[in-house]
Amino acid sequence: MNYDVIVIGAGHAGCEAALAAARLGMRTAVFCLSLDTIANRPCNPSIGGSSKGQIVSEIDALGGEMGRAADSCIIQSRTLNKGKGAAVHALRVQCDRTAYHLYMKNALETQPGLEIKQDEVKEVVVENNAVRGIITRLGLFYAAKAVIIASGTYLDAKIHIGENSFSSGADGILPAIGLGASLEAAGIRLRRFKTGTPARVHRRSIDFTKLQIQGGDEIITPFSFDYDGVLENLVPCHITYTNEKTHAIIRENIHRSPMYSGRINATGARYCPSIEDKLVRFADKGRHQIFIEPMGFDTNEMYLQGVSTSLPVDVQEAFLRTIEGLENAEIMRHAYAIEYDCCDPLDLYATLEFKNISGLFSAGQFNSTSGYEEAAGQGLIAGVNAARKCEGQELYVLPRSSSYIGTLIDDLVTKGCDEPYRMMTSRSEYRLFLRQDNAPERLSEIGFKLGLLSTERVNSFRESSTKIQNEIKRLKKTTAKPTARLNKMLEERGTTSITSGVKIAELLRRPQICYEDLKEVGLIEAELPPRLRGKVQIEVKYEGYVKIQLEQIRKMRGLEEKLLPPGQDYREIKGLSIEAAEKLNLHKPLNIGQASRISGVNPADISVLLIWLASK
């Protein structure tokens, strides 16, 4: 059986990769261990969060599916970091776990040109440093022009709960055994990482009267830029805290945690620590926050975000019952740690193709990342490039300056990582430009040119963008005259009144004033939807800062347009430091911009490269 593209794994990376390849006209097959785990969320029931919400909006703007799926099964939606600047505003949505799975499964099932197969991939067939296809557990060979590995946390996976450890993937699904050995035989370097998850408890065992209610946004902003329905928060989330009794039990038993007993040697995520790790790293803290979140409408399982652990079952039950509201906690699924094999992303190009195997791509946690959103973003790019590989087209590199997805991939392939990579807004030097609200402006035209975004969808964005720009122009050219009504509002907001005419945009740039304030005093005539009003406000308030960042981006793009010849032996270039030559030969950067971000390549080395390029 012959395919253009084969995707190994149907998690968040695999789903986006398979959909992208099929939407670009490739005959595509996606293989998974179980159809019942397509787009499964075995860790937490949310989509989005700080920087992750930005990634979901970027996936949507490029023509991916994650944002639309999240919008379709919202339980509760909140915008995080509202008290901070627009650069770090981020949506986090609680989604019905089963509904999300069914949405994505249906999206795969109904996508023309895409076949879903429940079978375990045992081997990736490589000949003459080029991928040829796969062999499954059933002994079947499937030929393919391109293969994408999106194995998530299932590759030779092992579960740890206290003194117990056993071979298993998440949620009791069998692990993928044998594929790792096949990849190593093909020359791919593997390493061992780990992640974990907290316990789930029964709703009836929680005393909600003792918990803080955490509500959602009054007006919900969807992830998808052209969503035209009305979204509602249907159930609240809750907050509680650990305490000294909780900590005492954990400390008394910390030697029984696989992390501290030596049973786990894999590297875990620094920014998603277990509760026992928190007590060691933040010993001065008397309590830690716990978010109690529903897993869905049709289940009584409640997720306890903040107390991920691999402690034994008896210790889990004991420390949970010291927490206010959880005194009678009835555990339905115990917490666990899971370790698994993944590749070293330094072996990848920024296209997510392996440097030493033509046609072999990878995405998601196999690339040493963590998080559903990071996985989905990589999957989309891997799917696009696998399709372009089949067509003999130039592979696409999403610039670092264009998106958090581009930043994520650039970090992986130029800097590498020694722990599961998690995206944060601080990882981007362009975060004021890479906001969630302007993802369509940044990426929809790219999605359209790549062939993922339909004419209908891109036209919908263009129409909205025109309305925004027209309103901004009006605010800049229209003068607000001093009136008693306007000055009263200004004084009430804690800013100075005006004595002569002022452009409305100048009033809006004042930190104390928002778009709605201007509407109240009759300075706003356009009836824009709430989402567009918010974008007008952000564009006006941050215009000066964004201009500075765009100039920085322009300069960096100048370096990224200076391409380096493939196969160059950098030891031959006089003036480069020994370390720089070694690192450049190892990483094989595509351009000067990438070279400048490699650890060990200093500004003097970049100057040498620029002079050498000019001489060529």
Query: For the chain, percent helix, then strand, then coil, each to nearest 5?
Result: 40, 20, 40
The pLDDT value recorded for residue 39 is: 97
* Nearest residue to 203 via CA among 297, 274, 334, 289: 297
pLDDT, tens digit, for every residue of 345-404?
A: 999 999 999 999 999 999 999 999 999 999 999 999 999 999 999 999 999 999 999 999
Question: What is the average pLDDT score of the chain?
Answer: 94
Is the pLDDT confidence value at 600 over 80?
A: yes
Sign of the alpha-carbon torsion through 25, 27, 33, 37? positive
Instruction: Please give the single-letter amino acid code of residue 171.
Output: D
A 10 A CB-CB count for 549 gives 18
Residue 546 has pLDDT above 90, yes or no: no
Q: What is the pLDDT of residue 85?
A: 86
Q: Alpha-carbon distance 158 to 530, whole Å?
A: 47
**Predicted confidence (pLDDT) per residue in 394-438, tens digit:** 999 999 999 999 999 999 999 999 899 999 998 999 999 999 999
Task: Answer positive or negative: Cα dihedral of 176, 181, 185, 187.
Answer: positive
The yes-or-no verdict on residue 526 having pLDDT over 80 is no
pLDDT over 90 (residue 86): no
Return the pLDDT at 599: 83
What's the rounded Cα separation, in Å, for the pair 339 and 39? 20
Residue type present at position 201: V
pLDDT at 262 over 80: no
Nearest CA-CA partner of 422 in 95, 153, 168, 195: 195
Nearest Cα residue to 185 out of 357, 405, 58: 357
Q: Is the pLDDT of residue 615 over 90?
A: no
Tell me, what's the pLDDT at 531? Answer: 84
Rounded mean pLDDT, 78-98: 92
- Tell me the pLDDT band of 557, cut-offs 50, 70 and 90: confident
12: tokens are 């968040």
Model confidence at 57: pLDDT above 80: yes
Q: Are 8 and 57 contacting, i.e. CB atoms less than 8 angstroms apart? A: no
> Which residues neighbour 473 within 8 Å (Cβ) at sequence distance 6 or greater?
none
The H or E element containing residue 238 is strand 237-241
Residue range 188-244, pLDDT digits in tens: 999 999 999 999 999 999 999 999 999 999 889 999 998 888 888 888 999 999 999
pLDDT at 567 over 80: yes
pTM above 0.75, yes or no: yes
**For residues 507 and 513, what is the distance between their CA atoms, to the nearest angstrom?**
7
Helix (H, G, I), strand (E, B) or coil at 74: strand
State the CB neighbour count (10 A cutoff) for residue 36.
Answer: 12
Statement: residue 268 has pLDDT above 80 = no
Place of tokens 């992750």: 52
- Cβ within 8 Å of residue 303, ≥6 positions away: 44, 45, 198, 200, 292, 293, 294, 295
Q: Does pLDDT of 140 surpass 80? A: yes
Domains of the chain: 200-338 (2.40.30.260), 467-547 (1.10.10.1800), 562-615 (1.10.150.570)
Do 94 and 233 touch, CB atoms closer than 8 A? no
Q: 203, 300 in Cβ contact below 8 A?
A: yes
pLDDT reported for residue 32: 97
| Euclidean distance between CA atoms 616 and 598, whole angstroms | 23
332-364 b/e with 16+ CB inside 10 Å = b?
bbbbbbbbbbbbbbbbbbbbbbbbebebbbbbb
